[in-house]
A = this chain, B = another copy of it.
Amino acid sequence: MSGKITTKIQDRIALVTLDNPAKRNALSAAMWQELAAVFGRLSADTELRCVVIRGAGQDFAAGGDIAEFPEVRGTREKCLHFHQVTVGNALRAIDQCLHPTVALIRGNCVGGGLEIAAQCDLRIAAHSARFGAPIGKLGFTMAHTELANLVARVGPAVMLEILLEGRLMGADEAYRKGLVTRVVQDGDAEEEALATARRIAAGAPLVARAHKKLVRRLAFRAAPLDEGEIAENFAFLDTEDYREGLRAFLAKEPPEFTGR
């Protein structure tokens, strides 16, 4: 068995772990498939408020499991299927997860690991984390579907630097270049990621879900919103949480949101 995905839920926060530490959590085809399934299930659980994704041990994820490549990507057909379906389903499942997502990044966040982190909403990095995609040294091109995600989120200049130079960059540089949300000392990274998840969980969940969906819609699709999408944007007017939010604000009390 080449790696697995584990899930733990506590206080409405799901903790998903990429678990293949002997290979720095490199993702096997089986792990990509499990990752898609896990995020599909978490997305359907409306009791949740936030999902944190991390790697087991010292690293976030060191990319794909290259030992498998001759087999799983041996022909053009297999290669297309691997990237568009196997990897693609997992990245789409993270991107479209109903709940806000936080990547907790320690150690190597490389290749497929970088692609996973980029699909999350926030990225909390340990100071010693390292980022990159040195696939020029492996002789292959990043799949266009995956590169499109990264270019849209990270920008062309940083992606060209990462891909052409093949260097790994440290967390401080990644922060300056917009790759991560914040950088903390190594020993504080897990607590900061969970504190971030708790801050997210304290807000009105329907609002967080609407913001998550709407920011992606506005950033990554050019077509103007249709009537249904505009109506959805104002759906909060009929919620209990909106009344509670205004009441609590005007009463100077902390709100208690129920997701209704």
Please tell me if A9 contacts chain B, counting CB pairs below 8 Å: no
This protein's copies in its complex: 3
Q: Are B210 and A164 in contact (CB under 8 A)?
A: no
Other-chain residue from B135, B181, B211, B239 in contact with A142 (beta carbon distance below 8 A): B211
Nearest first, the 4 closest Cβ-Cβ pairs linking A and B are A139-B245, A136-B203, A156-B219, A139-B242
Chain A contact-residue range equals 35 or more
Interface residues of A, dominant DSSP? helix
Other-chain residue from B199, B225, B236 in contact with A141 (beta carbon distance below 8 A): B236
Q: Are A244 and B139 in contact (CB under 8 A)?
A: yes
A73 CB contacts on chain B under 8 angstroms? 237
Residue of B nearest to A140 (CB): B236
A-B contact pairs, 24 of them (CB 8 A): A66-B246, A76-B237, A100-B164, A122-B161, A136-B208, A138-B242, A139-B207, A141-B214, A141-B234, A141-B235, A142-B214, A143-B233, A143-B234, A144-B229, A147-B214, A147-B215, A151-B215, A151-B218, A151-B219, A155-B219, A165-B200, A166-B202, A175-B176, A177-B178
